[in-house]
């Protein structure tokens, strides 16, 4: 049994992180998730990620990928086949829904199905308004020698 963490000290010293704290609290309450279909999550670079799911037996038209605010939902519904009677069924074709929490400004760039693997590429792209910028300081009503703010590189 897990003991919930007390996040109240963090609430006092941070502003605007309410969503992160809610995610932490909800993760500790979440029931054990189904582990099918198996998947890998890979960080390709600082802002690029790939989710690869093993969906053998599913065709492209039987899979659905949906973007919701801060959520990626991948689902599959296998169409039944009536070719004979199964003596043993080892290939799982049951319906599934996988949900992935996404950070702000993460978008799907590409999805492809090949050799029974569904690959979904994700990229985090900050809007220009969210990138760090330099603020000029005025002293005694005079403007700084820099009239235009410079754009700083992302950290």
pLDDT in tens, 41-92: 999 998 999 999 999 889 999 999 999 888 899 999 988 776 788 888 887 7
121: domain CATH number?
2.60.40.790
Cβ neighbors of 107 (< 8 A, separation 6 or more) are 67, 122, 123, 124, 125
Is 149 contained in some domain? Answer: no
- Based on the fold, state whether residues 78 and 54 are members of the same structural domain: yes
Q: pLDDT at residue 1 above 50?
A: no
Residue 113: the pLDDT is: 95
- Based on the fold, state whether residues 72 and 2 are members of the same structural domain: no
- Based on the fold, state whether residues 27 and 39 are members of the same structural domain: no
Give residue 5's domain range: 1-32
Please tell me the number of Cα atoms within 13 Å of 51 on its side-chain side.
23
Q: pLDDT at residue 22 above 80?
A: no
pLDDT tens track for 109-124? 999 999 999 999 999 9
- Based on the fold, state whether residues 119 and 45 are members of the same structural domain: yes
Residue 148: the pLDDT is: 58
Q: pLDDT at residue 35 above 60?
A: yes
Strand partners for 73: 66, 99
Q: How far is CA 46 from CA 42, 60, 123, 124, in A?
A: 11, 30, 9, 9
Residue 130: the pLDDT is: 75
Which of the four pLDDT bands, split at 50, 70 and 90, describes residue 128? confident
pTM: 0.66
Q: How far is CA 151 from CA 22, 144, 148, in A?
A: 32, 16, 9
Q: Which stretches of 33-138 are DSSP H helices?
A: none
């Amino acid at each position: 049994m897990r003991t919930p963490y007390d996040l109240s000290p963090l609430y006092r010293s941070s502003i605007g992180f309410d969503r992160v704290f809610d995610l932490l609290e909800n993760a500790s309450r979440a029931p054990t998730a189904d582990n099918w279909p198996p998947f890998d999550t890979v960080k390709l670079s600082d802002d690029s990620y790939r989710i690869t799911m093993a969906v053998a037996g599913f065709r492209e038209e039987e899979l659905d990928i949906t973007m919701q605010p801060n959520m990626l939902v991948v689902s599959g519904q296998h169409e039944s086949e009536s070719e004979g009677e199964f003596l043993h069924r080892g290939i799982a074709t049951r319906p599934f829904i996988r949900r992935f929490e996404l950070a702000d400004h993460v978008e799907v760039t590409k999805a492809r199905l090949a050799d029974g693997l569904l690959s979904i590429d994700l990229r985090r792209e900050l809007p220009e308004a969210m990138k760090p910028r330099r603020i000029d300081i005025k002293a005694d009503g005079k403007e700084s020698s820099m009239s235009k703010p410079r754009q700083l590189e992302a950290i």
